[in-house]
């Protein structure tokens, strides 16, 4: 079952044209094992990993959509996004393919 994350625990960015989700979470046990995927909807996003790893993220905040302009288009271009697990500069990253 995906773990619900409050809005302040997730950040969305476009870095040099690449879509990124930064999650302020402890490193899941199986980050590099298996595939990760991202499911985008109007009000939420699901970042799903191998086994029981996964996160449910609200997409709407007090000021509307929390993803920056161009983020969805970048996900479409790259058929997914990078997910960063933690906020340190050397935090591990996984690619999450986009599900439709």
For residues 65 and 57, the answer to whether their CB atoms sit within 8 Å is no
Q: Per residue in 26-36, pLDDT tens?
A: 877 767 666 89
pLDDT for residue 33: 61
Q: How many CB atoms lie within 10 A of CB 15?
A: 11
pLDDT for residue 34: 65
For residues 23 and 85, the answer to whether their CB atoms sit within 8 Å is yes
How much is the pTM?
A: 0.91
Which parts of the chain register pLDDT below 70? 30, 32-34
Enumerate residues 6+ apart whose C-beta is below 8 A from 99.
Answer: 37, 38, 39
What is the chain's mean pLDDT, rounded?
91
């Amino acid at each position: 079952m995906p773990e619900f994350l409050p809005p302040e625990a997730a950040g969305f960015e476009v870095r040099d044209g690449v879509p990124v989700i930064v999650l302020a979470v402890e490193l899941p046990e199986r980050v590099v094992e298996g595939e990760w995927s991202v499911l985008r909807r109007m009000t939420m996003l699901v970042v799903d990993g191998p086994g029981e790893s996964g996160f449910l993220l609200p997409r709407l905040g007090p000021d509307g959509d929390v993803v920056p302009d161009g983020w969805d288009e970048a996900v479409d271009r790259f058929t997914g996004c990078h997910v960063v697990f933690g906020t340190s500069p050397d935090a591990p990253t996984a690619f999450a393919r986009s599900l439709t």
